[in-house]
Structures are given as structure tokens and as C-alpha cells.
């Protein structure tokens, strides 16, 4: 557990923390887990998993000749338009605005922990991509624990 705290502190000192590069919402992350000759996909992280960002389609409305969208897609489009309208005031992209909106009801310590987890996860993932073969099992285990905590908090 001590090494996780190290990665949280490491994450706060990286360019990722300053650049506001954010992970997608936990419900839009899928993990590709490989082990014992099998590949599985899950919304739950596993040790050594590859993170896949999932962007749901907004429907095949052009096939019928008329535009039909569901309420969830309409709400998402309205939220994006609202974020674009507020960008001069907030300076946030639509995805950053969505993250801030999702976290607004969290207490301050949880919000802070989410920011630290996000920075640490991005840092470790970058390290893992650079040196895939040299990554130790303890680093993979730490990344797994960080991802589990990120999901549990619903960051």
C-alpha cells in the first residue's frame, strides 16, 4: 500500500496533473484482461489489464431517413452544447466539464483523491507503455489497486 501513496505523490508532480488530461468516466472504461491463453473484456480491472476507452454510438439514425435519438443521447448532446457555451467562462473542454459535473456532489477529500488517482493512473500507464517488458508485477498490482479505487469512488 505504501507504493500506491508513492504513485499518488508522483502523479501530482507530473505534467499530467497540470495538463488536465483526464480519464473517461468509469462507466466508459473497459479492461482487456489476458491470462492463461484467454482474453476477456470487463468493466472491472484486473492485474496487467489494458485500458480501452469506450465511446457508445449515438444511434444509426440515418438508415431510416429520419433522425431519431433516445433521451440519453439527447441529454448528452445538450450537456456538450452547454459545456461549449460555458467554455469561455470555465476554460474546460466538454469532457473536463462532464468530469467536474460528475464529481460536484462528492466531498472535497474524495474529489482530491480522484484527481490524485487520475494523475497516478495516467503516469503509470505511460510508464507501462514505454517499458512493457521491464514492468514488474508490483507495478501492475499497484495499477490494479489504483484502478479499483478509481472505480469504487466513481470518479
pLDDT digits (tens, 9 = 90+) for 19-35: 455 788 887 889 999 88
pLDDT digits (tens, 9 = 90+) for 129-143: 777 666 677 888 899
Output the CA angle 121-117-112, nearest 5 degrees: 155
**Distance in angstroms (rounded) separating the CA atoms of residues 150 and 127:** 19
Q: Where are the domains of the chain?
A: 2-55+72-153
pLDDT digits (tens, 9 = 90+) for 73-111: 888 889 899 998 999 998 998 988 988 998 999 999 999
**Distance in angstroms (rounded) separating the CA atoms of residues 73 and 14:** 35
**Distance in angstroms (rounded) separating the CA atoms of residues 8 and 27:** 22
Decide: 143 and 125 in contact? Cβ < 8 Å: yes
**Distance in angstroms (rounded) separating the CA atoms of residues 78 and 49:** 34
Amino acid at each position: 500500500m505504501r507504493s500506491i501513496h508513492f504513485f499518488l505523490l508522483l502523479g501530482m508532480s507530473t505534467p499530467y496533473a497540470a495538463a488536465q488530461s483526464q480519464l473517461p468516466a468509469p462507466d466508459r472504461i473497459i479492461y482487456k484482461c489476458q491470462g492463461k491463453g484467454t482474453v476477456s473484456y470487463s468493466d472491472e480491472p484486473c492485474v496487467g489489464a489494458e485500458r480501452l476507452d469506450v465511446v457508445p454510438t449515438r444511434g444509426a439514425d440515418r438508415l431510416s431517413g429520419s433522425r431519431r435519438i433516445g433521451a440519453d443521447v439527447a441529454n448528452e448532446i445538450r450537456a456538450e452544447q452547454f459545456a461549449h457555451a460555458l467554455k469561455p467562462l470555465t476554460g474546460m473542454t466538454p469532457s473536463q466539464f462532464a468530469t467536474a459535473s460528475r464529481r460536484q456532489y462528492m466531498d472535497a477529500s474524495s474529489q482530491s483523491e480522484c484527481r490524485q488517482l487520475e494523475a497516478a493512473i495516467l503516469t503509470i500507464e505511460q510508464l507501462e507503455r514505454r517499458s512493457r517488458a521491464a514492468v514488474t508485477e508490483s507495478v501492475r498490482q499497484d495499477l490494479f489497486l489504483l484502478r479499483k479505487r478509481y472505480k469504487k469512488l466513481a470518479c
